[in-house]
Amino acid sequence: MPGPVRTSDPLRPAAQPSRALVLVALAVFGVLALGPVAIMGQRIAAEPAALESLGDPRVIDLLVRTVLLGLGAAGIALAIGLPFGFLVARTNVFGASALRALGIVPILLPPIMLAMTWTMLLPLRGPWMCAFILGVSSFPLVSLFAARAAERIDARREEAALLTGGLRAVVRMELPLVLRPALGGALLAFIVAINEFALPDYVSSVGKKFNVYAGEVFSSWQVDGNEARAVVKAIPIVALTLIALVPILVARRGRSETIDASFQRPSPLRLGRWRLPATLFCLAAVTVGALLPLGRLAYESGGGSRVFSGVSIRRMGWTQGGGAAQNMPTTAPPTAAATSADARKEAVRAVQAAARAAAGQDPIDPKANTVAQATPLQRRRSVDFNAPEVKATEAAKKGDDVSDFGQGWPRFRENLVKAFVRALDLSRGSLISSLLFALIAATIALPIALVLGHAVARSRLGPLLTMLAIVPIAVPGTLFGIGTIVLWNHAATASIYDSGALVVLLFAGRFLAVPILICAGAVRSYDARLEESAHLVGAGPIKRLFTVVAPGVWTSLVGSWIVVFALSVRELDAAVLVPAANDTAMFRVFNAVHFGRDDFVSALSLLVVFAILLPGMLWSSFGRTRPRFLP
């Protein structure tokens, strides 16, 4: 049986990358991605004693706890992602293609959005809830690897197993082949989990606090003269990330093979009576990771309640007594304030709405329950509550936030539309900024990633380049953001620092690692003999790269672009420090969330999610092939 052809021989001369081009790309990568990290690293050199802070038992405890959280999240991601990836890629589950596409969504959603939903739905908090949400959020990393590995199993091999032992034998034969790549995906899920601190902070806001190491890194920046220690604190996270990557890289280099002409694509396995349960499992996975959070946001956008079962259960527990809650006063009899809450809400909203509409959309509200006064500073006029437009506004506002499904679909739909119009109206500029920044960052990253990805795959220095490529995405966002300020805030680069260009460079630098790895994988599985042929007819390394390799891996280039775009739209931790980045949609979502959840916040969150998914959806709709994220 002809096997796959190994093509990754780094010594194959015709496939060697252009040194000049690699040096140029490395220089750009060095400035954008490594510069902010290196410049912060200098602070350790200036104060080596700061390294002692890593020996603090408290810090070690936090690190151990964070590793355990990462392992938990990776375990959950593996438990969901491995079967999911295999089922949607290789079996006849109903709607496999749609489920496969939907299965990518959870990793693209900001984890905090999942947290906002799941803390409302479940009365669970603390480390288990954190691990659950992080696992659910990152299972696509596992399923992508698992699906791709499962697709690369030759049909003849599978048929042999099927003939000898049926479906059970197929699973026994294929599981080891899929497990190793899936474990690689689980390690990536581990990396995502150990770098997250906003989510554990949010999830443990009620009950016992669950602190993680990344929070310690963030807090370290608040103390004056502590910069060196703050940078030092990032070292374990970076080290853990690089250590976690070693097995992935070793495995990938060992498996760097391509599918040759003799490869026979396997046909979908027929699951028989297991088809429905398998479909339900896949549906449950995408529901938990994507449909439910998105549905919840849509429900809230339409005026649905922001308080859900988790709260109800907890409150029920209190009012029924027991345990520490036994001394809690029983539910208060409806006080005058409580009984009049709805009426008050209506009155306040009506006044706000009327005054805003009549006085020129001033978000600084006028005196509650009184007519807005024209102060010397204000250009707004006082409100005539008998004016038709005010009455109309009042009438329209009265329906806000009370629709729920109990009020029927038309009211829900009306509120939904209203919420989206308001979100678009107030945040149009931010959404456009987000899209533009992300679009430019992704476009800049692409050629650099192609050059360096090719170098990673074809040169002797591949493993070293990979490790270097990972560094900017492995360091905490705060460190990268501050490093970017330090690096670019000079007179010579003033026009960049003071403009949106800095945001673009920050996004491109921080996320370049991802397209580099995607391109490296794609190039590794691309037959080097084609480059050799081009070499024989006189094509130089640059021409080979752009006219032979690039067209051969173009679906991976599309995948790379989409990933950088999506990551850029949802970036917040580093961008928040940079002056020009505060007009992004994610920034607005987080500012709005601070003041509670309302239909506007939910609608804006959905718009951000839509922006994140937009290129992928467009490509899926109009492209003839799927974008590739893995070779």
Partner 1 sequence: MNLRTPALLDLRLGALLLALPLASCGDAPDLVVRVSLDQIFSEELMKEFEAETGLVVRAQYDIEQAKTVGHVRAIIEESKSRPRTDVFWNNEIAQTIRLAELGLLEAYDSPNAKDIPELFRDPERRWTGFGARARVLIVNTDMVPEGETPNGTLDLFDPKWAGKCGIALPLTGTTLTHATALYHVLGDEWARDFMQKVVAANGEGTVSLPNSNGQSMTLVANGELAWAWTDTDDFNVARMDGHPVRRVYPDQRAGDGVLSRDGEPLGTLLIPNTVMLLKDAPNPENAKRFIDWVLRREIEERLAFSRSAQIPVRDDVPRPDYVGKIGDFRVMQVDYAEVGKTIGARTEELTETFNR
3-state SS class at 6: strand
Q: Return the range that interacts with partner 1 (CB under 8 A); candidates 164-172, 240-248, 512-520, 580-588.
A: 580-588
Q: Min. distance of Cβ 376 from partner 1 in angstroms?
A: 6
Check: CB of residue 67 under 8 Å from CB of residue 98.
no
Q: Min. distance of Cβ 48 from partner 1 in angstroms?
A: 20
Near partner 1 in 305-344, by CB under 8 A? 306-307, 311, 314-315, 318, 324-325, 327-329, 331-335, 337-338, 341-342, 344
Q: Min. distance of Cβ 444 from partner 1 in angstroms?
A: 5
Check: CB of residue 615 under 8 Å from CB of residue 439.
no
Nearer to partner 1, 170 or 592 (CB): 592
Q: Min. distance of Cβ 605 from partner 1 in angstroms?
A: 14
> Which of 264, 352, 407, 620 forms a contact with partner 1 (CB under 8 A)?
352
Q: Min. distance of Cβ 481 from partner 1 in angstroms?
A: 8
Near partner 1 in 14-53, by CB under 8 A? 21, 28
Near partner 1 in 51-70, by CB under 8 A? 58, 61-62
Near partner 1 in 370-389, by CB under 8 A? 370, 375-378
Three-point CA angle 259, 260, 266, nearest 5°: 60
As to burial, measured by CB atoms within 10 angstroms (0-12 exposed, 13-18 middle, 19+ buried), residue 311 is: middle
Q: What tokens does 424 get?
A: 């678009």
Nearer to partner 1, 410 or 538 (CB): 538
Give the count of residues interacting with partner 1 (CB under 8 A): 115
Nearer to partner 1, 197 or 629 (CB): 197
> Which of 404, 582, 620, 626 forms a contact with partner 1 (CB under 8 A)?
582
Q: Return the range that interacts with partner 1 (CB under 8 A); candidates 271-279, 366-374, 455-463, 464-472.
A: 366-374
Q: Min. distance of Cβ 383 from partner 1 in angstroms?
A: 14
Nearer to partner 1, 279 or 427 (CB): 427
Nearer to partner 1, 92 or 378 (CB): 378
Write the DSSP string, 378-443.
--PPPP-TTSHHHHHHHHHHHTTT--TGGG-HHHHHHHHHHHHHHHHHHHHHHHHHHHHHHHHHHH
Check: CB of residue 103 under 8 Å from CB of residue 286.
yes
β partners of residue 5: 258
Q: Min. distance of Cβ 225 from partner 1 in angstroms?
A: 8
Nearer to partner 1, 55 or 596 (CB): 596
Q: Report the distance separating Cα 519 and Cα 537, nearest Å.
A: 25
Nearer to partner 1, 348 or 461 (CB): 348
3-state SS class at 572: coil
Q: Return the range that interacts with partner 1 (CB under 8 A); candidates 165-173, 245-253, 551-559, 596-604.
A: 596-604
Nearer to partner 1, 390 or 508 (CB): 508
Q: Min. distance of Cβ 371 from partner 1 in angstroms?
A: 12
Nearer to partner 1, 91 or 556 (CB): 556
> Which of 33, 76, 189, 577 forms a contact with partner 1 (CB under 8 A)?
577
Q: Which residues have a Cβ under 8 Å from the Cβ of 300 and sit 6 or more positions away?
A: 306, 597, 598, 599, 601, 602
Q: Report the distance separating Cα 333 and Cα 339, nearest Å.
A: 10
Near partner 1 in 91-130, by CB under 8 A? none
Q: Report the distance separating Cα 588 and Cα 574, nearest Å.
A: 15
Near partner 1 in 186-225, by CB under 8 A? 198, 201-202, 204-209, 211, 215-216, 218-225
Binding letters toward partner 1, positions 531-550, x by CB under 8 A: ---x--xxxx-xx--xx---
Residue (of 122, 81, 117) closest to 100 by Cα position:
81
3-state helix, strand, coil in the chain (%, to 5): 75, 0, 25
3-state SS class at 5: strand
Q: Min. distance of Cβ 418 from partner 1 in angstroms?
A: 17
Q: Report the distance separating Cα 253 and Cα 68, nearest Å.
A: 28
Nearer to partner 1, 363 or 410 (CB): 363
Near partner 1 in 422-451, by CB under 8 A? 436-437, 440, 443-444, 447-448
Near partner 1 in 453-512, by CB under 8 A? 478, 482, 485-486, 489-491, 494-501, 503-505
Nearer to partner 1, 129 or 144 (CB): 129
> Which of 265, 367, 381, 413 forms a contact with partner 1 (CB under 8 A)?
367
The residue to which tokens 């990938």 are assigned: 252
Check: CB of residue 626 under 8 Å from CB of residue 584.
no
Check: CB of residue 152 under 8 Å from CB of residue 119.
no
Write the DSSP string, 299-363.
HHHTT--S--HHHHHHHHHHHT--GGGGGSPPSPP--HHHHTHHHHHHHHHHHHHHHHHHHT--S
> Which of 85, 598, 630, 631 forms a contact with partner 1 (CB under 8 A)?
598
Near partner 1 in 272-311, by CB under 8 A? 306-307, 311
Nearer to partner 1, 335 or 386 (CB): 335
Nearer to partner 1, 204 or 415 (CB): 204
Does the protein bind partner 1 through residue 164 (CB under 8 A)? no
Q: Min. distance of Cβ 472 from partner 1 in angstroms?
A: 17
Question: How many C-alpha atoms does 210 have within 13 Å on its Cβ side?
Answer: 25
As to burial, measured by CB atoms within 10 angstroms (0-12 exposed, 13-18 middle, 19+ buried), residue 272 is: exposed
Q: Min. distance of Cβ 155 from partner 1 in angstroms?
A: 37
Nearer to partner 1, 109 or 440 (CB): 440
Q: Report the distance separating Cα 631 and Cα 629, nearest Å.
A: 7
Q: Locate all alpha helices (DSSP H) within 47-154, ordered by sequence.
A: 57-90, 96-102, 105-108, 111-121, 126-151
Nearer to partner 1, 1 or 343 (CB): 343
Q: Min. distance of Cβ 333 from partner 1 in angstroms?
A: 7
Q: Report the distance separating Cα 446 and Cα 436, nearest Å.
A: 16
Question: How many C-alpha atoms does 386 have within 13 Å on its Cβ side?
Answer: 0
Q: What is each CA distance from 165 to 9, 171, 193, 353, in whole angstroms?
A: 37, 10, 39, 70
